[in-house]
Structure 1
Amino acid sequence: MIYNDTIVALATASGAGAVAIIRVSGADAITISDSCFKSVTAKKTLVNQKTHTIHLGHIIDDKRTIDEVLVSVFKNPNSYTGEDVVEISCHGSVYIQQEIIQLLLRKGCRMADAGEFTLRAFLNGKLDLSQAEAVADLISSDNEASHQIAMQQMRGGFSSEISKLREELLNFASLIELELDFAEEDVEFADRGEFNALVERIGLVLRRLIDSFAVGNVIKNGIPVAIVGEPNVGKSTLLNALLNEERAIVSDIAGTTRDTIEDELVIDGIGFRFIDTAGIRETKDVVESIGIKKTFEKMEQAQVVVLLFSAIEFKTEAARLKVEIEKIKNRLPLKPMVIIANKVDTLDAAELERLHTEFKDVHLLSAKTGEGVEELKNKLISFVNTGALRNNETIVTNTRHYSSLLKAFEEIEKVKYGLENGISGDLLAIDIRQALYHFGEITGQVTNDELLGNIFANFCIGK
């Protein structure tokens, strides 16, 4: 792919709107745009204008006026892509958008590929690779937490931390390599004590970043919460109460929910994906059996399980419920779980007190009246370790970064082992080079066309 031609794309969402922005980038961006722009000010040309200026005029195709527009001029290197960039703000008619784009194509532009503007920003040193990927995360962020993480990464928080570690390791690597040049003289330029302390510190930072992925990944993609229980205990009513809308069908007939129903809710800036599942029971109904099978699958996949029982069952079948609860806990020993006694509005004060005394860990709730729903939301938030987010610490959300961090950590552990066991400098150098390679993969200091293609193919056109 050639990255020095001039490209054009619609930068705003496709479809009609009040205003649309058409972005042009490349060596000829200003001259091509100037060739079809007529300023309201006589004899004004875009080529002679200063960078970061806006100009009112018309887009002209021969003698035909297409639209009145505002044209923004950004001259290299002080632009998003590092190239000359022109942004044409026109009226949001789909017809006008296409007419202007087609005109620019005839004048010598090429339609931009997905993410090509950001790719050029990376290639021209305006962003490193992790920052470029954060642009896509920022566009797709749909809650406060994912937005905050993407902004922190786009500003370079993550990449600066990695770059600093890489630079320190590179300095010691240079000394190790220097020792190899004087191998016959048996000298040490790299202080092994300082080097060991550095490797120890790098290992701790990598471990923290790797561990943060568990939190970052669910924040980015939403935390899946499975609502499970026997038929007719109020799972669908609870889903509706959480979402504050009639999302699931509610009926007194057991087995109404035959398949899983999913919807999203943002609580305190964290996205949750609630999954209303089919009731768990013995059944000969083929369709319902498939739904129950899916329920167990969703329980395995969920980050949190909300286990629902009827408060009346706690009153009349306490012994059986204790067995059922233990059975499910044993099946999912590491899974965060909220056990709920629903329909507490059907119990009197004495029965509620007895239930609370006998089942201390059970959350009392009435999905019908809304009692206890807010407390459930607070409980779900407590399962999410948002401390790092509030403290503005680096959180890893990208699977590619996570994979590279794991590989880098593995190599650092090899270096640490080598230092502890007196392994020769030439063998240490091999592991250090590999660690540096994996650090470079994250920030884009090590890239290939296939990697870049995979990353930027997921961007939207125009960004």
Structure 2
Amino acid sequence: MSTTIEDTIVALATAQGISAIAVIRLSGPEAIKITQKCFKGKNLEEQPSHTIHFGNLHHEGKIIDEVLVSIFKAPNSFTMENAVEISCHGSPFIIKEIIKALLRQGARLAQPGEFTKRAFLHGRFDLAQAEAVADLINAETDNARQAALNQMRGGFSKEINHLRDELIHFASLIELELDFGEEDVEFAKRDDLRELIQKIQSYLRALIDSFDQGNVIKNGVPTVIAGKPNAGKSTLLNALLNEERAIVSDIPGTTRDAIEDEIILGGINFRFIDTAGLRETKDVIEAIGVERTRERMKKASLILYLVDLSNATENEIEEQVHELKALAIPYLMIGNKMDQADNTLLKKLESQPFIFISASNKTNLSLLKEKILEKVQIKEVKKGDVMVTNLRHYQNLLQTNESLDLVLTGLDSGVTGDFLAMDIRQSLHYLGEITGTITTDDLLDNIFSKFCIGK
């Protein structure tokens, strides 16, 4: 069945499952009219916008539920269309029956992100702000919430649009020169263009550099707990989480596959991954686990490498450090079972960047958490901070910067205006894709398909 923006759509806006209250949303030209066909109470079509009305929803002569119906009349709604929100009891059966009744009156099920997509298409906000809506919903820390809120309020978009406007001005002057191709005129001064490009690139580089921090704030820090069998990796995971998440045993090789869980430290979401112990083994299943551990380590943002101080030797530790350095990934060397360690070994390791703990006794865990945060070094996000948290935006900024490099190269080479104009237009294209000034159906489908159905 083909779908259009003229359809009236319906979806559950709250989470699936049993709850005290659920909210069902409709949006589209017939949203109020369709709801009225199932509603016994006031005539909703005659009521003013932004009002709430009590009544019964019914279908085929049977009352489904007592509800509150909120009305939003175009253009004063999230989607800038007629919209309705039905607050009902959170029984999955009741929700299904209400949606079924609305579908029979002419609504259709919303596609993922279709409410937000309609808000974008109607000019409620640009594409970068629309993506920030999803980020705000998924925010798990205060930093992630503030970063998404800053983007949703348009600070990032404002800067991008300002840069684009300046480029458009110069591009139009160069295009004007091409109209006077037979005359030796220069409307766009090349020195002024060079100065503008350099200024824009300086700002782009600051945005590009902010992505490392922005990505951590949005997606968290994948942190692998690695080490030899029986080093205490699972015990450490349980101690950090303060729960028995991983199986702990004296038998080497107990952990065969990765176990993951999350914890927030200093406003940053860390995704801790307990892995199989690193050793040579003839056990086929354990060998697969070891290989997966090595793959996880390569993809980690931080490695917590545990050494069993009760039986480790100095040479073994040196070999392990050498292997970690070869990965070129930030890591912390952690000496576990410090209460069982040989004093001679402890003294030798004191001069090295080692953190001594006892995971089973939870000794020095506060120190370990401090060192973990020092490794990440994320600043607090404040109101108005402009930061790149979206991989798509990051890629577009890189492409914009590369196109501007071509403009500078062209200026150095003295190329004609038509080649300069071509590279500037390419830069404008990449900037326009960030805010949605330039879009394709495939781009929009890809972005909004990642939203939840009711958003």
* CA displacement at 1:60 relative to structure 2: 3.7
Deviates more, 1:388-397 or 1:9-18: 388-397
Match 2:339 to one of 345, 348, 352? 345
- Which structure 1 residue ranges, 5 or more long, are not aligned? none
Aligned to 1:318: 314
Length, aligned pairs only = 453
**SS of structure 2 residue aligned to 1:389:** coil
**SS of structure 1 residue aligned to 2:381:** helix
Match 2:5 to one of 3, 21, 26? 3
The one-letter amino acid paired with 1:337 is: Y
- Provide the rounded CA distance (Å) in 1 between the counterparts of 2:51 and 2:142: 33
* CA displacement at 1:336 relative to structure 2: 0.6
Runs of 4+ displaced beyond 6 Å: none
**SS of structure 2 residue aligned to 1:339:** strand
Is it true that 1:166 corresponds to 2:149 in the alignment? no
- Provide the rounded CA distance (Å) in 2 between the counterparts of 1:412 and 1:385: 31
Aligned to 1:74: 72
Is it true that 1:405 corresponds to 2:397 in the alignment? yes
* CA displacement at 1:325 relative to structure 2: 1.7
- Provide the rounded CA distance (Å) in 2 between the counterparts of 1:33 and 1:293: 57
Residues 277-308 of structure 1: CA deviation (Å, up to 9, x unaligned): 22222333333222222221111111111111
Does the 8 Å contact 1:134/1:150 carry over to 2? Answer: yes
**SS of structure 1 residue aligned to 2:210:** helix
Change (3 A) 1:357 1:376: closer
- Provide the rounded CA distance (Å) in 2 between the counterparts of 1:294 and 1:61: 54
Does the 8 Å contact 1:71/1:86 carry over to 2? Answer: yes
Aligned to 2:386: 394
Does the 8 Å contact 1:217/1:397 carry over to 2? Answer: yes
The one-letter amino acid paired with 2:373 is: I
5 Å-filtered alignment, 1:84-99, equals 84-99=82-97
Aligned to 2:14: 12
Aligned to 2:329: 335
Aligned to 1:145: 143
Aligned to 2:28: 26
* CA displacement at 1:240 relative to structure 2: 1.2
- Provide the rounded CA distance (Å) in 2 between the counterparts of 1:260 and 1:101: 41
Aligned to 1:277: 275
Residues 76-104 of structure 1: CA deviation (Å, up to 9, x unaligned): 11110011111111222223222222222
Aligned to 1:36: 38
- Provide the rounded CA distance (Å) in 2 between the counterparts of 1:406 and 1:388: 25
Give the TM-score normalised by structure 1.
Answer: 0.92
Aligned to 2:351: 358
- Provide the rounded CA distance (Å) in 2 between the counterparts of 1:354 and 1:6: 72
* CA displacement at 1:347 relative to structure 2: 4.8
Is it true that 1:289 corresponds to 2:279 in the alignment? no
* CA displacement at 1:320 relative to structure 2: 4.0
Does the 8 Å contact 2:238/2:246 carry over to 1? Answer: yes
Does the 8 Å contact 2:143/2:380 carry over to 1? Answer: no
Aligned to 1:268: 266
- Provide the rounded CA distance (Å) in 1 between the counterparts of 2:296 and 2:399: 31
Change (3 A) 1:420 1:110: same
Match 2:245 to one of 244, 247, 251? 247
Does the 8 Å contact 2:9/2:27 carry over to 1? Answer: yes
Change (3 A) 1:38 1:336: same
**SS of structure 2 residue aligned to 1:233:** coil
Does the 8 Å contact 1:260/1:278 carry over to 2? Answer: yes
Q: Cα RMSD between the aligned structures?
A: 2.1
Residues 401-457 of structure 1: CA deviation (Å, up to 9, x unaligned): 222222111111111222233222111100011110111111111112222112212
- Provide the rounded CA distance (Å) in 1 between the counterparts of 2:65 and 2:223: 50
Aligned to 2:423: 431
Does the 8 Å contact 1:19/1:90 carry over to 2? Answer: yes
Does the 8 Å contact 1:51/1:75 carry over to 2? Answer: yes
- Which structure 2 residue ranges, 5 or more long, are not aligned? none
- Provide the rounded CA distance (Å) in 2 between the counterparts of 1:148 and 1:439: 24
The one-letter amino acid paired with 1:417 is: T
5 Å-filtered alignment, 1:140-219, equals 140-219=138-217
The one-letter amino acid paired with 1:304 is: L
Deviates more, 1:277-286 or 1:449-458: 277-286
- Provide the rounded CA distance (Å) in 2 between the counterparts of 1:99 and 1:236: 47
* CA displacement at 1:117 relative to structure 2: 0.9
Identity %, equivalent residues: 54
